[in-house]
Amino acid sequence: MATEDSGNSDWLTRSRAALWHPCTQMKHLERVPPLPIARGEGPWLVDFDGRRYLDAISSWWVNLFGHANPRINAAIVDQMCRIEHVMLAGCTHAPVVELSERLAGLTGLGHAFYGSDGASATEIALKMSFQFWRNVGQPAKTGFVSLEYGYHGETLGALSVTDVALFKDTYAPLLRPTHQVISPDWRRAEDGESAESYALRAAASLEDFLAECADTTAAVILEPLVQGAAGMAMYHPVYLACARESCDRHRVHLIADEIAVGFGRTGTLFACEQADIRPDFLCLSKGITGGYLPLSCVLTTDAVFAAFYDDATARGFLHSHSYTGNALACRAALAVLDLFEQDEVLAVNRHKAVRFTQLLAPIAAHPRVRHFRHTGMIWAFDVEQAPAGFSVDFHRRALERGLFIRPIGASVYFMPPYVIGEAEMAHMAKVTLELLDTL
């Protein structure tokens, strides 16, 4: 069984033979084997040979407070001894009620529907929006609008509103047609154009589309402030304010997919706060359990909820997942919210971010670096003249130096767990600089 007596290579061989890794051409594992992880400690991952790697990307953006966090561990253990899981159709339990109440207090969105991962949250929001319009007698509103290069997950409905060719093209015949409007990503601004005026220009194109097609459009879905899978594309909050106005003006829902950016990643608890807007649907996952357990949540308004509340069964939202509202996951999420409050995490992160940005100044000034960007606890930049295979080579060479990082194409990004300290930030900067000079 899983003892640490077996070293890395044994686990590599068995993993390649027994399982199919996500988002991976399995044949490439011949060249780039997976990293076998025996345990974690705060922001560090430790392999079976005892080597340590700094988790610069929070294990695919989910981890907030480090691995094996004693406070989250304790909450889950306590919950496990009470009730680990009970079906949520026909039953309820304390962690799911408390979590829903607290999320409502934090967002002003009072009705929480749970799923198990991010893509299921996207599916839930799309289906709810569609059915809302049907329930209120506007069945022609079936279309969805998303941003160019947006990412909302990879199940068929979510993939339909995702705009990443590599993930989407193969499955195109299975997907619903959706419309994409131009991304507010400030890297696309013209020379001399500010991020803000570019965002306004992008917002005008959304307004134009809705002015024409609102009658057949149910919702706009977007990732507020940072388009993660697009390579950490960042944009000005004015875009969100304009999108909210356009959606209101044309009676179209706004779905905020904060699956990656929620829970403090952009500097505020939720990214929408920076534009002072409230979406009709807020999708949350990833950091919600601090990276411990799969859980997602869609929060929505009283108006949406009311359109489903009826004697007729079929007007209800007849959607479910077996693990909806899992008690262990909800308890982990409550522990995460406690940590935010008790440790004043947002304020502490603001200080850390200032210091980290200083530490990264030599990277920002490096001649090969373009579009150095920063929002909250995310930093990113693009590498000029990146050779073929850059992202794989960068990843591999960084591992040799004790850093776990996975660039998206030629975009390198840091998205560390919030427990990261200054020495660890310096390690990240040093390894990255070395690689910029040698790759």
Ligand X SMILES: *Cc1c(COP(=O)(O)O)cnc(C)c1O
What 3 state SS string does 216-228 have? HEEEEEECCCEEC
Query: Residue 249's Cα: distance from chain center in Å?
Result: 28
| Buried/exposed code over 237-257 (b: 16+ C-beta within 10 A; e: otherwise) | bbbbbbbbebbeebebbbbbb
- Name which of 95 and 228 has its Cβ closer to ligand X: 228
Least distance from ligand X to the Cβ atom of residue 300, Å: 17
Least distance from ligand X to the Cβ atom of residue 48, Å: 26
CA distance 423 to 175: 47
- Name which of 23 and 81 has its Cβ closer to ligand X: 23
- Name which of 284 and 363 has its Cβ closer to ligand X: 284
- Name which of 7 and 294 has its Cβ closer to ligand X: 294
Least distance from ligand X to the Cβ atom of residue 286, Å: 6
Q: What is the DSSP string of 359-383?
A: HTHHHHT-TTEEEEEEETTEEEEEE
143, β-bridge pairs:
217
Binding region for ligand X (CB under 6 A): 117-119, 122, 151-153, 223, 228, 257, 259-260, 285-286
- Name which of 259 and 337 has its Cβ closer to ligand X: 259
CA distance 99 to 333: 7
- Name which of 122 and 183 has its Cβ closer to ligand X: 122
How many other CB atoms sit within 10 Å of the CB of residue 108?
Answer: 11
CA distance 180 to 336: 35
Cα 110–Cα 115–Cα 121 angle in degrees, nearest 5: 75
Pairing of strands 179-181, 217-222: unpaired
Least distance from ligand X to the Cβ atom of residue 348, Å: 24
Rounded alpha-carbon distances, angstroms, from residue 247 to 21, 48, 210, 220:
39, 52, 8, 8
Least distance from ligand X to the Cβ atom of residue 298, Å: 12
- Name which of 244 and 286 has its Cβ closer to ligand X: 286
CA distance 215 to 7: 60
Least distance from ligand X to the Cβ atom of residue 180, Å: 15
Could you give the 3-state DSSP secondary structure of residue 298?
A: strand
Query: Residue 77's Cα: distance from chain center in Å?
Result: 26
Least distance from ligand X to the Cβ atom of residue 29, Å: 20
Least distance from ligand X to the Cβ atom of residue 274, Å: 16
For ligand X, which residue has the nearest CB? Answer: 118
Q: Which residues contact 127 (CB under 8 A, 6 or more apart)?
A: 157, 317, 319
361 CB-contact burial (10 Å; exposed 0-12 / middle 13-18 / buried 19+): exposed
Q: Are 300 and 317 in contact (CB under 8 A)?
A: no
- Name which of 60 and 308 has its Cβ closer to ligand X: 60
Least distance from ligand X to the Cβ atom of residue 323, Å: 13
- Name which of 283 and 431 has its Cβ closer to ligand X: 283
